[in-house]
Amino acid sequence: MHRLQTFALILTASFAIVSAACSRGEQAPSPAPATSASPTTAPPTQRVVGPLSEEDARALGTMNDSIKAYLATHDKVEKSLPKVPDNATPQQIDTSQRNFERRIRAERANAKQGDIFTPAARPVILRLLNKVFGGPEGAALKASIMDENPVDPVQLKVAVNARYPDTVPLTTIPPEVLQTLPKLTEDLEYRFVGDWLILLDTHAHVIADFIPDALPK
């Protein structure tokens, strides 16, 4: 039953996104690309599980564009640094990570909140999260995220380009949430700090963007 529902959702989302793609005008922001038959097989940054209206698909398209731009910067920095071998020493890991952090921060010196979670995409993200957490499993999902997460993002000084606090454990992101939000590559992850949704650059340990109060009460 669950699989059928998921399949129906994917079909609906695909239809909505394809419709959006077909109907956009010349000046409209580029829409989220069509989702393929299974969200797991969609290319990075292109999976969105709806249902989405044409307008929502267009709004998330602006976020996808920003993610692509971020990843281009990330790749540029990565290529400029020595590759960490798969059998690295702690010193090699630490040096690489700190260099990565410094370079990303320099490349995005003028970055600000909303650059990736664009003003257009933000309400859609919030609506999708509301839908997930408003469902029958909502309480369990929220409990899973809040496990070891009783922190205050303001006190922790969560900000764009800030280092993810070393002493704060990573929140678990349940599969349902990951299937709902636009897909990311391995270089970026959704996490929560308190009830703020952040985009975390996993190599740089840097917060790329965030949405305050994203977890429904």
Site residues, another protein (CB under 8 A): 39-40, 84-94, 96-97, 137, 140-141, 144, 147-148, 166-167, 169-176, 178-179, 186, 189, 202-203, 205
Measured from the CB of residue 187, what is the shortest distance to another protein in angstroms? Answer: 10
Which CB, 56 or 101, lies closer to another protein? 101
How does DSSP assign 92-150, residue by residue?
HHHHHHHHHHHHHHHHTTT--TTSSS-TTHHHHHHHHHHHHHTSTTHHHHHHHHHTT--
Kindly state the DSSP code that residue 41 receives in the 8-state scheme.
G
Measured from the CB of residue 178, what is the shortest distance to another protein in angstroms? Answer: 5
Q: Exposure of 216 by Cβ count < 10 A (0-12 exposed, 13-18 middle, 19+ buried)?
A: middle
Residue type, 17: I
Which CB, 58 or 141, lies closer to another protein? 141
**Residue 93 CB contacts under 8 Å (≥ 6 apart), including other chains:** 84
H-helix or E-strand containing 21? helix 2-23
Rg (CA), the chain: 18
Q: Which two tokens stand for residue 174?
A: 């349940």
Which CB, 15 or 190, lies closer to another protein? 190
Which CB, 125 or 132, lies closer to another protein? 132
Which CB, 122 or 191, lies closer to another protein? 191
- The residue assigned the tokens 């989302």 is 13
**Residue 115 CB contacts under 8 Å (≥ 6 apart), including other chains:** 66, 160, 209
Which CB, 58 or 203, lies closer to another protein? 203
Measured from the CB of residue 91, what is the shortest distance to another protein in angstroms? Answer: 5
Measured from the CB of residue 106, what is the shortest distance to another protein in angstroms? Answer: 20
Measured from the CB of residue 158, what is the shortest distance to another protein in angstroms? Answer: 17
Measured from the CB of residue 23, what is the shortest distance to another protein in angstroms? Answer: 28
